[in-house]
Structure 1
């Protein structure tokens, strides 16, 4: 069977010679073809005037599927009553019909076969056992080798359900199929099993299909083909040559920045542009991930699988862009160290570096490609979620969930107060402000819901959708902030319990190292290990267990490497594997904490912190990949990841603190900051949503125009599956500061 699918593609015509035919011949050909088509269509219409397509066909209750689609669909369907191969017009496996009723059904099927080319098969079973009736019928028809003119009615008597299978090319409209479904539904609902089959056969016969309908179809198709061919030839011959120069001038081409476009930028300007592009596209990915999570919860994983692949493709480009930035930062740091050693005074101007410009241009192109990848599916994603139709439901959902989240804020604040009595402030730096930020987000979500409902009352559905998305994202970030505190508390408790074991292991290694004499490397490693043990002992009460574990792990790794020549290979690998497991567990938790912090403060966190975080993620993944085969090599990657994620966390905290301090100072002075225009565009939505990077689109449309600085377009950070947020909207704006 084939799926009902009408595709339209422009015809391509090749001409043996150019300019040989005079215009009059072309118009004569067009006129002749048009006339011929009209005659054929009219003749076919007269031959069978009774078969017409409805003005507004509605989808059939029993849709048709191709054989390939049916086979793929049924691969996951395992009912207790599997699809069967049918050979008789009537198959009654549950004695649903008496002998007289069976004869009556057979007579109805024979009448249909005598008066048309269509054939109807009927099968009665006890139950579809949870399988969709249409899927069961389609699979049985496919297994039975039914053709275009064959229909199958499957009736489950215990379920009181039925499925009608029809080929896509069957000469029945969707409305006619729906009418057949309606006729059968009435009989099945009343448990009149024989009437279900006879009514179906009579309904098919009443449509008049299966007779001369192919003549009408052939006539219309022939007429359309001739007319289109003539028109296409005329347009190609006379219209295209005149329009081609204008089209060439006006057709936009979406590409990354060319070297010529970047040539006028100074090294500092190019660097700033690359940083802005990374921030914009990274924000876009985080927003898309949040939107995709909402869609997955609403519609299921199967409905969002295509968008997950799109997001993965864009993420791969962004990761490569961050890797380029990390490489350039490493080179720049090394050169700065060399320059500082050679000359105490820094150069007045930054030297031109063609290789660096080329790498930054490639970075910008990757960001552009990622934004284009996301933007290409924006409309499809919105269609999938049907937000304009569901805007009231989304707003109500936020209202229903907000009280539970608000109730968690006080509990989370109490947890933090207890943790502060045990651990130093630096240990809790990434989560210490989470309750306050969550409160701001909840307040903003409430404001967004009120604004969305006002927009609905005014009939502005697009505005309501924008506010609903902002409210959903604000609520989601609030939950993420509160969950982060709980996760940190659990991880600190686990780290405290593991610290005793780590200290005991390192103490044993120090004892073993004392027996090795004359090896200067072992002596240095043993001395460093003893210093680490002493430091942990001194800071054990009220100290940071994570920092203690990291210090112990580093000392143990150095001592293991120094003692490797004195141990057998099996012991060396076992010790490396154990140390690697502990290190990776700590690094994964550090990555989670830092990623959550950036995601919930992305309105303030800059490119450098994000770059270090991306590189730490890459190194951690490399360590996990190397873990089975090369524990020693994996340990090195994990240790480098630990160093980078700590640097990323420090930079991210500094960015967020600076943004909040600047906003507070501006508010205290009564002066609008640089983000005032953004705050005005977002109406009452400020505070937590601004810091969280949730900005509502003031124009309520996605724009494909690129910001001159960021080169990333397609929407804003408040919601939506699309491109990055323009850098002009990246500033923090007004914040409510907790007094």
Structure 2
């Protein structure tokens, strides 16, 4: 080889040597192709130290333990020249990932990342974006590789737990909205009640005999005031009737005739007013204008009756000056107390006997009568004692004795009624029990007559026949358990069957047949009306307008039945049935009223509490018409003859 080429060969070898050494010593970025992942956290890029790797793995494990979502995290140098999404998708396919697998791939040298997989249940795409852009990306930008993996796992877990959005403010806002709505509703109710009270006060101050003034009042105020005036007038009529009977015993019928006339006018007006209220309460609706007209008629009728009673007060006071012979009156009341007290054991024994022979439902109207009678007697005894102390005062200071005498008289009258109801209950039950066989025979006869009219009777006859058969099937059991109810059911079923037979054209009722049925119906109606009347009269302190309306209507129908008995027995029969039905409803509603009263004002068991329930003592602060003259019964006054405003006259000494 020529010597001139030797230096060139040595240079060439030196250059190739440098290239070889450089190739060996310089780092090379190897392309990392997608491959199957066998562990949840892989770090081929060497981005994590031992502690970081443990933190990331712990976050991934916590996500799986709490939500059963598998998060796989891969740290690589690069994505082999493909897009991050393509690299992650291929890796997921090769790894066999399912719907509960997620992949976070991070290329540390390429500074790119990908997130692949289905969003877990309950996590929206917007929440995933928020986790990635708000927590993962900032950590990656700062080369906090482990923090990025932990943030991804923790963010997904928080979103699945509902913690992605803080519920505290949301709940607080919801609570505030609810409180605001409740407050608004309560305020509206308060405003409405305040308006109702103001309108009612205006109605109370309006002249009840002035239709024009009443027409200017709101309809609801007229409704409320109508119920009040019915209660006030009915109480006034009942108390006046009690006082009048006492006056008859002292002065005779002739002396009290003007007052009896005034009372009868008031009774007629009361019945008319109750009839209007019944019409307003029935199932047939009236227009607002019709309601207004009826309410004005009711209130003016009651107002005129109230004033007619008041117009006789002064005259009656002069006739029956209770202070003139207060001593003898108190002595007579003491004798009445002794007489009624002596009746208590016998009535108590009778009630015990009845309780053992009949179910509680039959005796419910009189179950408390002996207890109440004892309370009324005790109250009367207190009043008599107070009365003796009052008349011992100097002349001019004895006026309070009048209230004591009136209260004692009323209490003893109610005690007598209560005991009479117990003593007469057996007779009513015997009467019903004795009438049941005849009523059932009538029912069987009508069923026989109906057998041949099935095709002519229609639905009315079929219904009546079914009801009659039910009564007959239950007759034996019902008669034993509740003879009064069984008798009423038999009479009612027979009446319905009679009407159905007449409509079918089977036959006309003979006068004797109709009269017999009318007698039965009248006895039934009279018993039911009397029971309701006694119950209401002895507990009128708890009675609202509804039971008073029903019993007034029942009495009106009973009176009409008796009036038509001779001239139109068919019409009389209808009135008697209506009276029986209304009497039963009145008793039920009255019993419900007493229960409500007792709940609102738990009975103390004292004699005064019984007097308040009986309406003997009336709260002198109630209603606009009640004024002074409280007496000395804890803010209550004794009732007297006259209208609802009669309490203003107590302080003048003496009422009749």
TM-score, structure 2 normalization: 0.61
Q: 1:583 to 1:362 in 2, by over 3 A?
A: same
Alignment deviations for residues 699-727 of structure 1 (CA, whole Å, 9 cap, x no partner): 9xxxxxxx765699999972432111599
Offset at residue 516 of structure 1 (A): 4.5
Structure-1 residue corresponding to 2:223: 271
Offset at residue 268 of structure 1 (A): 2.8
Q: Matched residue of 1:318: which SS?
A: helix
Measure, in 1, the Cα distance between the counterparts of 2:549 and 2:628: 21
Greater CA radius of gyration, 1 or 2? 2
Q: Is 2:604 the partner of 1:652?
A: no
Q: Is 2:354 the partner of 1:419?
A: yes
Structure-1 residue corresponding to 2:565: 627
Q: Is 2:457 the partner of 1:537?
A: no
Measure, in 2, the Cα distance between the counterparts of 1:526 and 1:712: 59
Measure, in 1, the Cα distance between the counterparts of 2:267 and 2:628: 16
Measure, in 1, the Cα distance between the counterparts of 2:382 and 2:474: 50
Which structure 2 residues correspond to residues 3-82 of structure 1 after superposition, within 5 A?
Answer: none
Structure-2 residue corresponding to 1:573: 511
* Aligned with 2:532 (options 589, 594, 602): 594
Offset at residue 432 of structure 1 (A): 1.1
Q: Matched residue of 1:370: which SS?
A: helix
What runs of 5+ residues in structure 1 fail to find an aligned partner? 1-252, 337-351, 669-683, 700-706, 729-739
Measure, in 2, the Cα distance between the counterparts of 1:710 and 1:266: 20
Structure-2 residue corresponding to 1:718: 638
Q: 1:696 to 1:524 in 2, by over 3 A?
A: closer
Q: Is 2:381 the partner of 1:465?
A: no
Measure, in 2, the Cα distance between the counterparts of 1:540 and 1:258: 53
Which structure 2 residues correspond to residues 402-551 of structure 1 after superposition, within 5 A?
Answer: 402-459=337-394, 460-516=397-453, 518-521=455-458, 522-541=461-480, 543-551=481-489
* Aligned with 1:691 (options 613, 623, 642): 613
* Aligned with 2:498 (options 556, 560, 565): 560
Offset at residue 264 of structure 1 (A): 6.7
Question: Does structure 2 retain, via aligned residues, the 8 Å contact 1:717–1:725?
Answer: no
* Aligned with 1:324 (options 266, 271, 276): 276
Q: 1:520 to 1:389 in 2, by over 3 A?
A: closer
Structure-2 residue corresponding to 1:297: 249
More displaced 10-residue stretch of structure 1: 471-480 or 425-434: 425-434
Measure, in 1, the Cα distance between the counterparts of 2:564 and 2:263: 26
Question: Does structure 1 retain, via aligned residues, the 8 Å contact 2:522–2:576?
Answer: yes
Question: Does structure 2 retain, via aligned residues, the 8 Å contact 1:602–1:691?
Answer: yes
Q: 1:530 to 1:713 in 2, by over 3 A?
A: farther
Measure, in 2, the Cα distance between the counterparts of 1:573 and 1:693: 45
Question: Does structure 2 retain, via aligned residues, the 8 Å contact 1:529–1:552?
Answer: yes
Measure, in 1, the Cα distance between the counterparts of 2:520 and 2:427: 16
Offset at residue 573 of structure 1 (A): 3.4
Offset at residue 652 of structure 1 (A): 0.7
Question: Does structure 2 retain, via aligned residues, the 8 Å contact 1:378–1:722?
Answer: yes
Q: 1:515 to 1:436 in 2, by over 3 A?
A: same
Q: Is 2:523 the partner of 1:585?
A: yes
Measure, in 1, the Cα distance between the counterparts of 2:365 and 2:210: 40
Measure, in 1, the Cα distance between the counterparts of 2:250 and 2:646: 29
Q: Is 2:613 the partner of 1:661?
A: no
Offset at residue 317 of structure 1 (A): 1.6
Alignment deviations for residues 570-598 of structure 1 (CA, whole Å, 9 cap, x no partner): x4433222111101111011111111111
Alignment deviations for residues 655-676 of structure 1 (CA, whole Å, 9 cap, x no partner): 11221232228x69xxxxxxxx
Structure-2 residue corresponding to 1:618: 556
Q: 1:727 to 1:582 in 2, by over 3 A?
A: farther
Measure, in 1, the Cα distance between the counterparts of 2:619 and 2:400: 9
Q: When you count helix as a share of all residues, which structure comes out higher?
A: 2
* Aligned with 1:368 (options 303, 317, 321): 303
Offset at residue 697 of structure 1 (A): 8.8
Question: Does structure 1 retain, via aligned residues, the 8 Å contact 2:208–2:214?
Answer: no
More displaced 10-residue stretch of structure 1: 297-306 or 253-262: 253-262
Q: Matched residue of 1:387: which SS?
A: coil
Question: Does structure 1 retain, via aligned residues, the 8 Å contact 2:239–2:640?
Answer: yes
Q: 1:659 to 1:523 in 2, by over 3 A?
A: closer
Offset at residue 255 of structure 1 (A): 4.9
Alignment deviations for residues 28-66 of structure 1 (CA, whole Å, 9 cap, x no partner): xxxxxxxxxxxxxxxxxxxxxxxxxxxxxxxxxxxxxxx
Q: 1:409 to 1:447 in 2, by over 3 A?
A: same
Q: Matched residue of 2:324: which SS?
A: helix
Q: 1:536 to 1:473 in 2, by over 3 A?
A: same
Q: Matched residue of 1:389: which SS?
A: coil
Offset at residue 628 of structure 1 (A): 1.7
Which structure 2 residues correspond to residues 199-210 of structure 1 after superposition, within 5 A?
Answer: none
Measure, in 2, the Cα distance between the counterparts of 1:563 and 1:370: 44
Offset at residue 696 of structure 1 (A): 6.7
Offset at residue 539 of structure 1 (A): 2.5
Measure, in 2, the Cα distance between the counterparts of 1:291 and 1:685: 21
Measure, in 2, the Cα distance between the counterparts of 1:355 and 1:559: 36
Question: Does structure 1 retain, via aligned residues, the 8 Å contact 2:618–2:637?
Answer: yes
Question: Does structure 2 retain, via aligned residues, the 8 Å contact 1:693–1:717?
Answer: no
Measure, in 2, the Cα distance between the counterparts of 1:462 and 1:452: 10
Alignment deviations for residues 474-522 of structure 1 (CA, whole Å, 9 cap, x no partner): 1111011101112222111111111122222222332343344633445
Q: Matched residue of 1:686: which SS?
A: helix
Measure, in 2, the Cα distance between the counterparts of 1:530 and 1:363: 43
Q: Matched residue of 2:343: which SS?
A: helix
Structure-1 residue corresponding to 2:65: none
Q: Matched residue of 1:446: which SS?
A: helix
Structure-2 residue corresponding to 1:395: 330
Question: Does structure 2 retain, via aligned residues, the 8 Å contact 1:598–1:605?
Answer: yes
CA RMSD of aligned residues (A): 3.0
Q: Is 2:284 the partner of 1:334?
A: yes
Measure, in 2, the Cα distance between the counterparts of 1:295 and 1:386: 11
Structure-1 residue corresponding to 2:45: none
Offset at residue 410 of structure 1 (A): 2.1
Q: 1:324 to 1:610 in 2, by over 3 A?
A: same
Q: Matched residue of 2:542: which SS?
A: coil
Measure, in 1, the Cα distance between the counterparts of 2:445 and 2:601: 53
Question: Does structure 2 retain, via aligned residues, the 8 Å contact 1:445–1:474?
Answer: yes
Alignment deviations for residues 170-193 of structure 1 (CA, whole Å, 9 cap, x no partner): xxxxxxxxxxxxxxxxxxxxxxxx
Offset at residue 279 of structure 1 (A): 0.4
